[in-house]
Amino acid sequence: MQILLVEDDSALADLLCDELEAEGYQVAALGSAEAASDWLDGNSAELVISDLRLPGQSGMSLLPKVKAQPQAPAMLLITAFGTVDQAVQALKAGVDDFLTKPFDMDHCLLTVNRLLEHRQLRAKVAGSGFHGMLGESPAMQRLFKNIEQVARADGPVLILGESGTGKELVARAIHRQSPRRQAPFLAVNCAGIPGELLESEFFGHAAGAYTGASKARQGLLREADGGTLLLDEIGEMPPALQAKLLRVLQEGTLRPVGADKEVAVDVRILAATHRDLELRVAQGDFREDLFYRLETFSLKVPPLRERGDDIALLARHFLGQQQAAGKTRAQHLSPAAWQRLLGYDFPGNVRELQNAMERAAVFCEGEAIAPADLPARLQGAATGDDQSLFDSLGQGALPPLSKVQQDYVHYVLDKTQGNKVQAADILGVTRRTLYRWLQGE
């Protein structure tokens, strides 16, 4: 990663360059805002670190140039104690953070790591995020590929997954990737409409079809004509309506309630459910022919517990949303809070994680989210591995602290699938410290 350092104090600039390069960053060091502005005309950086007071223009003069970059770098301001008020104003203007001189180098490196990770997360959302979905795990990457494949077809799609996994997001992604993307996308929850209104809601009705039907209504299928209709919780659809839906899928026609002729309709049906439809077929609650028609293309949205370090990716994303909205002072999670998140199964999936992070961000009174800030069900979360890590302390001679530290470091690395950036963040240390611990084994 490229860092642009703008500092006229040569001793401080040399020290920062050495420390940042030891962390694996590439550093371009310049002594004035004017030189930095010229450098940005032909180069790009992920982070700009600038002193506030410089010879000539101030470091703040760089902010418009920084924000105008195609992929805007994060910006960290260095200031003396006497200009803290100016630094606070700089935060309001769009600077990401500031450090006061003299500063602790470990704290500086932690700040740099955090700003770069936040910038990467913003880039994922803006660039490589897949239609509002985040996920780097193999399970999610397969899902994204499958969405692209089925979007090119035009048959119905059955989207399966537990509650809270994001089935509607998958449906919207299919629509946006499809040739129908310019036409309407409508979503309806089959369990949320009273049974006596379902047929009219879906198929429409003619004027005078029943008491109160003073004028004709198109219905959802015709409103989505040319586009896509998502039938959420399809398993709750009554059998009589299932038969009529099957006719739409097979014939491309429907008959509004009270009408005397068929109407052609061109709509792609997406159906979503958290239920076991095969079991409902066996029980006689769901039509077998409709199930097989819907199953032409079937997608399974993985539960969060099967998505590896996507938990950490999403947790940072949801915390970042709260930070951007100005709703929290929290900057990161404590190691103990990370342990609770990583040791929890999340039966409510992504929706539960989002709610947990929103609650933690609101209740956190400092910079680090603690276990007590999390919902009660997460506060005591621990996997069998977590427990065995501490149970082993009572077996035989008590191990030295260095051995416990070594075991926990490897435990965190295992949980993050070897991602040292995430592991260092969870452990609350710099990557340099983590590397030192690993090399010292």
Are 97 and 205 members of one domain? no
Check residue 396 and give its pLDDT: 53
Q: Given this model, what pLDDT does residue 366 score?
A: 86
Same domain, 314 and 262: no
Beta pairing partners, 297:
157
Residues 144 and 189 in one domain: yes
Residues 257 and 119 in one domain: no
pLDDT on residue 170? 96
In this predicted model, what pLDDT tens digit does every residue of 137-169 receive, in sequence order?
Answer: 889 999 999 999 999 998 999 999 999 999 999
Is residue 297's pLDDT more than 80?
yes
Last residue of a domain, one of 256, 286, 302: 302
Q: Is residue 400 part of a domain?
A: yes
Q: Which range of residues forms the domain containing residue 123?
A: 2-128
331 and 415 both lie in a single domain: yes
pLDDT band at 350 (very low <50, low <70, confident <90, very high): very high
Task: Provide CB contacts within 8 A for 20, sequence distance 6+.
Answer: 3, 5, 27, 109, 112
**Do residues 280 and 155 both lie within one domain?**
yes
Q: CB of 142 within 8 A of CB of 130?
A: no
Picking from 285, 302, 319, the residue at the C-terminal end of a domain is 302
Mean pLDDT, residues 189-205: 80
Query: Token pair for residue 246?
Result: 């099957």
Instruction: Give yes or no: residues 117 and 75 share one domain.
Output: yes
pLDDT band at 118 (very low <50, low <70, confident <90, very high): confident
Does residue 240 fall inside a structural domain?
yes
Q: Quick one: pLDDT at residue 385?
A: 46
Flag whether 133 is in a domain. no
Count of domains for the chain: 3
Q: Which CATH number belongs to the domain containing residue 269 in this structure? A: 3.40.50.300
- My answer on whether 290 and 376 are in the same domain is no
Residue 178 lies in a domain: yes
Q: How confident is the model at residue 79 (pLDDT cuts 50, 70, 90)?
A: confident
How many Cβ atoms are within 10 Å of 407's Cβ, its own excluded? 15
- With tokens 């009660």, the residue in question is 376
Domain stop point among 257, 273, 302: 302
Cα–Cα distance measured from residue 438 to residue 285, given in angstroms and rounded to the nearest whole number? 57
Segment among 29-33, 219-223, 356-360 with least mean pLDDT: 219-223
Among the listed residues 308, 315, 312, the one whose alpha carbon sits nearest the alpha carbon of residue 359: 315
Tens of pLDDT, residue by residue over 209-262, are 666 666 777 889 999 999 999 999 999 888 888 998 999 999 999 888 777 788
On average, the pLDDT of the chain sits at 85
Confidence at 384, pLDDT banded by 50, 70, 90: very low
Question: Which pLDDT band holds residue 414 (cuts at 50, 70, 90)?
Answer: confident
Average pLDDT over residues 323-352: 87
Nearest-10 Cα torsion for 414, 418, 421, 424: 40
Q: 9 to each of 32, 109, 348, how far by Cα in Å?
A: 10, 19, 52
pLDDT of residue 20: 93
DSSP conformation letters of 372-431: GGS-HHHHT---HHHHHHHHGGGSSSPPPHHHHHHHHHHHHHHHTTT-HHHHHHHHTS-H
Q: How confident is the model at residue 128 (pLDDT cuts 50, 70, 90)?
A: very low
More confident residue, 58 or 217: 58
Q: 127 to each of 1, 3, 147, 421, how far by Cα in Å?
A: 17, 21, 17, 21
pLDDT: which is higher, 380 or 312: 312
Query: What CATH number did the domain enclosing 39 receive?
Result: 3.40.50.2300
**Is the per-residue pLDDT at 65 higher than 50?**
yes
Residue 211: what pLDDT? Answer: 62
Same domain, 321 and 251: no
